[in-house]
Amino acid sequence: MQELIISQVDTINKLRQAIANLPRPLGLVPTMGYLHEGHLSLVQYAKKECAAVVVSIYVNPTQFGPKEDLDAYPRDLERDFSLLAGEGADLVWTPSNEEMYPDGYQTWIEVNETAYPLEGRMRPGHFRGVATIVAKLFNCVHPDVAYFGQKDAQQAAVIKRLVKDLNFPVKIAVCPIVREPDGLALSSRNVYLNPEERKAAVVLSKALFSARDAFTGGERNGNRLREIMAGIISEEPLARPQYVSCADPDTLEELESVSSDALLSMAVFIGNTRLIDNVILRV
Ligand code: PAF
């Protein structure tokens, strides 16, 4: 069988030359590589809606905290290229650190209130790194639509805010979470789980789905929904929750009661692996 080949560029100059020859609308799928079905589903959405699709693969150092797993972050470019070729992506851009943050780099983008709670509180500086790199990716690619996963719900809210506040001419598409059959949300970090932890990790979706069931059954009290999630997580000995939240999906402010759409979300350590997950409640 003939091997599928994908066009790949590393420098911004080459990227711009390659993009000039691509048809519009142009979709961008920003990733940090080590692709799984969740990333590929973003490419599939982009392929449906756009005439051409660019995927960026860049493990952005500025969104990792000093104690986080930057060096250990899983990487496998060859595998990523062949998966993207299989999905029919048109171009992969793999910039280097030197190109994205050259000597003397000193410009940062901070989104305020939306980035403060939840992930922002647990991972200081994370969204400053995300907002800065996403703005740089947008400035280099000039996509018409950019695709992000609902799994990183706060990231999506921060990026929507960034796009609105800085008038980027790009539509943000937020695509549904892809889950394993037992409910675990796909994540590059799942590879860190040993078999016992992998079983335990299902507790995140179990807690979220139970709270969603309670909501469907009429529960509208924010505290009660948070208690339901916390209660289920506390039954799993390998789980250490960092937060459970029932918040407004745009502002991320905690809700006393749910009267319009809401975001149930959580960050939980399973062993040494920090997992996040969420569901949207639709009123
Ligand atoms: O979601 C991710 O993979 C990253 O945060 C992103 C958006 C590619 C920015 O580095």
Expressed in angstroms and rounded, the spacing between residue 29 Cα and the centre of ligand 1 is 9
Residue 69: predicted pLDDT: 79
The string of pLDDT tens digits covering residues 84-115 is 999 999 999 999 999 999 999 999 999 999 99
* Residue 39 annotated among the catalytic residues of the structure: yes
The string of pLDDT tens digits covering residues 122-168 is 999 999 999 999 999 999 999 999 999 999 999 999 999 999 999 99
Expressed in angstroms and rounded, the spacing between residue 46 Cα and the centre of ligand 1 is 16
The string of pLDDT tens digits covering residues 36-64 is 999 999 999 999 999 999 999 999 999 99
Is the distance from the beta carbon of residue 130 to the nearest atom of ligand 1 less than 6 Å?
yes
- For the cut 80, the answer to whether the pLDDT of residue 2 exceeds it is no
Instruction: Name, in order, each residue with C-beta under 8 angstroms of 266's C-beta and a sequence gap of 6 or more.
Output: 204, 207, 208, 229, 233, 241, 242, 243, 244, 245, 276, 277, 278
Residue 208: predicted pLDDT: 99
Rounded to the nearest integer, the mean pLDDT of the chain is 97
Closest residue to atom 7 of ligand 1, CA basis: 30
Is the distance from the beta carbon of residue 247 to the nearest atom of ligand 1 less than 6 Å?
no
Residue 164: predicted pLDDT: 98
Q: Is 5 strand, coil or helix?
A: coil
Is the distance from the beta carbon of residue 94 to the nearest atom of ligand 1 less than 6 Å?
no
Expressed in angstroms and rounded, the spacing between residue 75 Cα and the centre of ligand 1 is 14
Closest residue to atom 1 of ligand 1, CA basis: 31
Residue 1: predicted pLDDT: 60
Residue 17: predicted pLDDT: 98
Is the distance from the beta carbon of residue 129 to the nearest atom of ligand 1 less than 6 Å?
no
Query: Considering only 2-6, 191-195, 271-275, which range has the smallest mean pLDDT?
Result: 2-6
Is the distance from the beta carbon of residue 119 to the nearest atom of ligand 1 less than 6 Å?
no
Closest residue to atom 3 of ligand 1, CA basis: 31
The string of pLDDT tens digits covering residues 4-34 is 789 999 999 999 999 999 999 999 999 999 9
Residue 249: predicted pLDDT: 97
CB distance 270 to 239 below 8 Å: yes
Residue 173: predicted pLDDT: 99
CA distances in angstroms from 255 to 92, 125, 233, 259, listed in the order given: 41, 25, 20, 9
> How far apart, in Å, do the first and last CA atoms of the chain sit?
50
